Amino acid sequence: MSNVMTFDYLAKNIKNIHEATSLYAKGAVNQLLTIRNWVIGYYIVEFEQNGQERAKYGENLLKDLATRLSIKGLELKQLYLCRMFYSRYPQIFSTVSRKLTSIGIQAAIHDNPLVITESSQTDNSGKFSTESKKFETPPDLLISRLSFSHIREIMVKEDPFERFFYEVECIKGTWSVRELKRQISTQLFFRAGLSQKPELLLQKIQQEGIGAALSVKDAYALEFLGLNAREEVDESTLEQAIMDHLQEFLLEMGKGFCFEARQKRIIIDDEYYFIDLVLYNRLLHCNVIVELKVDKFRIEHAAQLNAYVSYYKDCEMAEGDNPPIGILLCTEKGPKMVEYVLNGMDEHLFVSTYMLQLPDKKQLEEFLLQEAKEMGI
């Protein structure tokens, strides 16, 4: 590509690549759409950096370009996504160029064919980090195994490692776009980082698919509550924060959870007791009793939860309901103590921890690199 480009040439190049890829759409729709969008982003960034008229258009470039093109599917929002795609994945340059050449499209854009320039080899910060390359999905794999709809959901993540995580797991699990959205919305990246054995969590996700969302997690990330983990937090403050962020909390709990009651009053032996949270899972068809603790797991916590679950089983189950599940959320737990305490109790009792701030991701980095290695990435 020449060092300068006019706006007219920018619009012409984008029309050329759109028309050329459209001719080859049959049988390779997803790959060609991905390639087209990356090339459009490439031309836009090249114009912004080297175009003769770049200062004239400035922030209105994409708006003016969408008006000039007047192509369905290349409206302002799509042009913005194309630019982001190129900026997030400059390393796929050679793969895109090779694929275009293999089907004769490079010749169709002869006015300004793809040429490796300094900007083509840098990320959006202007530097191409060798360190970040270990968290890059190979370009051929990225284009051939993920549609642009998948990439669009992933590329909005600022952290390259988080993008790499979802790319690897999406390819490995052959997730649909809908499944990818669900895993992102339930913060699989952070849950895997919180898990002591992320490989087991991810293996379960891949094997069980959507059903895995119903599993009780070993740890919950509650950083969205906005509470400071270093300051003393009582149970009422924690409970109120959950109510203030109920939608995020239900998403973190998993799929199908609905809110039913807070501080649910029950009577046992003529005494009043209050259950912190009562949820209902419409997929499991059962109530979920949640008890909140702001300290380490203790034996009496399990006894309290067991009593509440037993009460619900005897007194609150409706026709068609399955037996209730009890979840105790605490700050710490000793795995052996939990095992001993729950031994012989209701099999529907679970003890999980929660974190108000996200941990260091070093452990997840090491695991994911090993997993990528095993996949040949």
Structure tokens at 357: 């701030």
- Report the CATH number of the 223-355 domain: 3.40.1350.10
97, containing H or E segment: helix 93-102
Structure tokens at 150: 């998948």
Cα 246 to chain center, whole Å? 19
Task: Render pLDDT for 62-97 as a digit per residue (tens, 0 to 9).
Answer: 888 888 888 887 888 999 999 999 999 988 888 888
Task: Render pLDDT for 307-316 as a digit per residue (tens, 0 to 9).
Answer: 999 999 999 9
Instruction: Give the mean model confidence (pLDDT) for residues 350-372.
Output: 70
pTM of the model: 0.54
Range scoring the smallest mean pLDDT among 75-89, 117-131, 201-215, 336-350: 117-131
Is residue 346 very low, low, confident or very high in pLDDT (cuts 50, 70, 90)?
low
Is residue 215 very low, low, confident or very high in pLDDT (cuts 50, 70, 90)?
low
pLDDT for residue 312: 93
Instruction: Give the mean model confidence (pLDDT) for residues 44-67.
Output: 77
For residues 87 and 370, the model is more confident at: 87
pLDDT for residue 277: 95
pLDDT for residue 284: 79
Cα 164 to chain center, whole Å? 11
Is residue 211 very low, low, confident or very high in pLDDT (cuts 50, 70, 90)?
very low
For residues 173 and 368, the model is more confident at: 173
Does 123 score more than 50 pLDDT?
A: no
Instruction: Give the mean model confidence (pLDDT) for residues 1-28.
Output: 67
For residues 69 and 107, the model is more confident at: 69
What is the per-residue DSSP string for 251-316? HHH-TTEEEEEEEEEEEETTEEEEEEEEEEETTTTEEEEEEE-SSB--HHHHHHHHHHHHHHHHHT
Share of the chain above pLDDT 70, in %: 72
Instruction: Give the mean model confidence (pLDDT) for residues 326-350.
Output: 82
Is residue 199 very low, low, confident or very high in pLDDT (cuts 50, 70, 90)?
low
Is residue 26 very low, low, confident or very high in pLDDT (cuts 50, 70, 90)?
very low
For residues 32 and 58, the model is more confident at: 32
Does 345 score more than 80 pLDDT?
A: no
pLDDT for residue 105: 60
User: Angle, nearest 10°, between helix axes 76-88 and 148-155?
Assistant: 70
Instruction: Compute the C-alpha angle 232/235/238, nearest 5°.
Output: 80
pLDDT for residue 124: 44
Query: In whole numbers, what is the pLDDT of the chain averaged over residues?
Result: 78
Which residues belong to CATH 3.40.1350.10 in the chain?
A: 223-355
Task: Render pLDDT for 225-281 as a digit per residue (tens, 0 to 9).
Answer: 888 766 677 888 999 999 999 988 888 887 788 999 999 999 999 999 999 999 998
Q: How far, in Å, CA of 206 to CA of 189, rounded?
A: 14
